Chain A
Amino acid sequence: MPARFRIVAQAIAVLLAMVAIAAIPAGIELFTVMQLTLFAAMAVLALSLAFIWGFGGILSFGQTAFFGLGGYAYAVAAINFQDSTPAILLAIVVPALFAAVLGYFVFFGRISDVYLGVITLTVTLILFNCVNSTSGEEYHIGKALLGGFNGMPSVPTFNMPFDPSQVLSPEQSWYITAGALLAVFLLLRLLLALPAGRVIVAVRENEVRASLLGYDPRLIKCLTFILGGAIAGLAGALYVNWGAFVSPTIFSLSLSAEIIIWITVGGLGTLLGPIVGCVLIEYIVANIGSQQLLNSNLVLGAVLLVFVLLLPKGLVPTARDLLLRLVPAPRPKVERLDETLSSQAAPPHPAGAE
Chain B
Amino acid sequence: MAELVPLLKAEHLTMRFGGVVANDDITFTLDEMELRCLIGPNGAGKSTFFKTLTGQLVPTSGAIAFRGLPIAGKESHQIARMGIGIKTQVPNVFNGLSVRENIWLAVRRRATPRQQGPAVNAVLEMIRLTDHADRIVATLAHGQRQWVEIGMVLAAEPELILLDEPAAGMTDEETFHTAAIIREINQTRAIIVVEHDMEFIKQIAKKVTVFHQGRVLVEDTVSKVLADQRVRDVYLGKKVAA
Contact = CB atoms under 8 A, between A and B. Distances in A.
Note whether A and B contact each other (Cβ less than 8 A): yes
Interface of A: 195, 198-199, 201-202, 205-206, 208-217, 334-335, 337-339, 341-342, 345-346, 349-351
A341 B134 contact: no
Contact of B92 (A195, A206, A217, A350): A206
B166 to A, nearest CB: 15
8 contacts: A202-B105, A209-B94, A213-B77, A213-B80, A214-B109, A339-B136, A342-B136, A351-B136
A293 to B, nearest CB: 43
B138 A198 contact: no
B182 to A, nearest CB: 18
Chain A binding site: helix, strand, loop or mixed by DSSP?
helix
Contacts of A210: 77, 105
A214 B94 contact: no
Contacts of A195: 108
A203 B149 CA distance: 16
Contact of A334 (B76, B85, B109, B135): B135
Contacts of B34: none
Contact of A212 (B88, B97, B136, B138): B88
A301 B132 CA distance: 44
Given A211-B75, A213-B106, A342-B138, A205 B80 contact: no
Contacts of A201: 94, 96-97
A342 B101 CA distance: 15
B77 A217 contact: yes
A206 B152 contact: no
B138 A345 contact: yes
B96 A211 contact: no
Contact of A351 (B56, B97, B108, B149): B97
Contacts, number: 91
A214 B156 contact: yes
A339 B139 CA distance: 9
Contact of B152 (A199, A213, A341, A342): A213
Contact of B77 (A198, A206, A215, A335): A215
Interface string B65-94: 000000000011100110001101000111
A54 B108 CA distance: 24
A210 B54 CA distance: 13
Contact of A208 (B92, B104, B152): B92
Interface string B146-169: 000100100010000000000000
Interface of B: 54-56, 75-77, 80-81, 85-86, 88, 92-97, 101, 104-106, 108-109, 134-136, 138-139, 149, 152, 156
A338 B135 contact: yes
B92 to A, nearest CB: 4
B127 to A, nearest CB: 16
CB-CB nearest 8 A-B residue pairs: A351-B96, A345-B138, A209-B92, A342-B136, A205-B94, A211-B76, A214-B80, A211-B77
A205 B136 contact: no
Nearest to A199: B105
B145 to A, nearest CB: 12
Contacts of A213: 77, 80, 105-106, 109, 152, 156
A3 to B, nearest CB: 12
A223 B86 CA distance: 26
Nearest to A342: B136
Nearest to A204: B96
Nearest to B106: A213
A349 B76 CA distance: 25
B139 A211 contact: no
B138 A216 contact: no
B105 A211 contact: no
B80 A211 contact: yes
Contacts of A211: 55, 75-77, 80
Nearest to B152: A213
A212 B80 contact: yes
B81 A205 contact: no
A112 B133 CA distance: 33
Contact of A346 (B56, B80, B135, B138): B138
